[in-house]
Amino acid sequence: MTRQRVALVTGAGNGIGRASALALADRSHRVAVTDIDEAAAQRTVHAITEAGGSAVAIALDVTDDTSRRAAVSRCVSELGGLDLLVNCAGVLRDARIEKLEDSLFESMLEVNLIGPLALIHTALPHLRAAGTASVVNVASRAWLGTFGSTAYSGAKGGLVGASRSLALELAPDGITVNCVAPGFIETDMTSTLPPRIRERILAAIPIGRPGHPADVAEAVVFFASNGYCTGQTLLICGGRGIGRPIAEAS
């Protein structure tokens, strides 16, 4: 009997991480649902098990080495291995450069760049042992550049660049590494945006609506299931990466 693939998803208590965990469980993955908020992770696990899936909730602070090691260890021991790592945990706080304090910039890097790369390092022996495995890093359309978002854009751009390098390094081990880069997605993280900023963003999306976490989760599932696609970054942004929509002629 073929062993079920095992996925570890960070930031899976809410938003894109939760949607990705649910989508992977629906595709017969056993899922380690990790989040800094263990209660939120438990709620995701409940949704998975209610639907007939298999999952375990694990508290994880991606900025802490002890927490990273413990989460990977529990995933492997309780679910039987590790075939897929989805780095979705993230934080969005930013300012224009003249107001950007060191502490804010450092927190952006620790959560959005250093944490994911360190978790890949921790998980790597288990991913190699799987024979064929995948890493999907959730970046952001912001890596292309966003006004007033130097720290966040820099961290996500770093994640894209690192993922391309890792794809080259890990291909001989049968491990693919790809990024999904969401645009404006309706999540707790984006819900605090001022209305005027929200309106400006929506006006720039050709499809004319914000994205939903499930839109991004489908891209995660694609990368998780394709063993020949690596080093790629897929924009999930309603066409915003193409350019601004043209207003209708009066």
- Dist CA 14 CA 16 (whole Å): 7
Give 100-153 as a DSSP string. --HHHHHHHHIIIIIHHHHHHHHHHHHHHHTSSEEEEEE--GGGG--TT-HHHH
Query: What gap in Å lies between CA 136 and CA 227, rounded to an integer?
Result: 12
Cβ atoms of 99 and 131 closer than 8 Å:
no
The dihedral sign for the CA sequence 52, 34, 160, 175: negative
Active site residues: 152
Q: What are 99's two structure tokens?
A: 């107001």
